Amino acid sequence: MGVLQTNVVPHVHRLGSSLVNWYVVADGDRLTVVDAGLPRFTRELERDLHELGHRSGDVEAVLLTHSDADHTGVAAALRDAGARVYIHGYDQETLARPGPKGGDARMGNAVRQLWRPQAWRTLGHMARNGGGRPTRIEGPELFADGDELDVPGRPLVVHTPGHTPGHCAFVFADRGALFVGDALCTFNPLSGRRGPQPLPYALNVSTTEAHASLGRLAEQEAKVTLPGHGEPWHGPPATLVRRARTAA
């Protein structure tokens, strides 16, 4: 079930599982992690980093696209090893005190998706890997839209609210890489549908805002887009967004 894809583009590595991605960006011996998978991915953390020629102490920063449990899992372990954890201020509270999402993602809407076999497979994967016991992190460092972060790779923050209020994407211009978290996906975790598409309605706090945020992604320049769920997508973000909107 594990995923270890080295050099998606030079010095950008994909880790995690068949359903949940997290990423490592290398800048010489210094690392930035983008998103942090599920809590039980911590069991394989040192092994995965060792296969990349690194250890947890090489990670200087963990950038969280948002505060959902399948994106924060190894963040606390990396902070214990010396990394700084960053998130948008709008998601600071839910990072410290995770709980059920509201809006379009209220419980009733999610339950109505459970007739889908893939929804059960995803739910089981999340449960087996600690998704029901989210990592809690107090006092992260905060960023805002338009910030260029002083971390390895010096990414630009692009606020893309909708999936959560503080959801953000990151542009690593020198790597030609756009990390989009759950602003869109190339594998639908509820239906199993593949290809560029927005996250399902039942997983977003505001699907209207999430669809509007796709416009921010279309404005970016990158060679590869890296989602939280599904395969990396090679090509201009504007083309990716056009296909996602068609799928929606």
Residues above pLDDT 90, as percent of the chain = 88
Give residue 20's domain range.
Answer: 2-247
List, for residues 142-199, the tens digit of each pLDDT value: 999 999 999 999 999 999 999 999 999 999 999 999 999 999 999 999 999 999 999 9
Higher pLDDT, residue 142 or 99: 142
Count: domains in the chain: 1
Say whether pTM exceeds 0.85.
Answer: yes
- Kindly state the average pLDDT of the residues 99-117: 79
51: tokens are: 């296969």
Residues above pLDDT 70, as percent of the chain = 98
Q: Where are the beta strands (DSSP E) in 64-138?
A: 84-88
- Exposure string of 62-96, with b = 16+ CB inside 10 Å and e = fewer, is bbbbbbbbbbbbbbbbbbebebbbbbbebbbebbe
Q: What is the pLDDT of residue 108?
A: 61
Q: What is the pLDDT of residue 160?
A: 98
| DSSP states of 55-69 | -GGGEEEEE-S---G
In this structure, what CATH number is given to the domain that contains residue 146? Answer: 3.60.15.10
Q: Give the separation between CA 151 and CA 32, rounded to whole angstroms.
A: 7
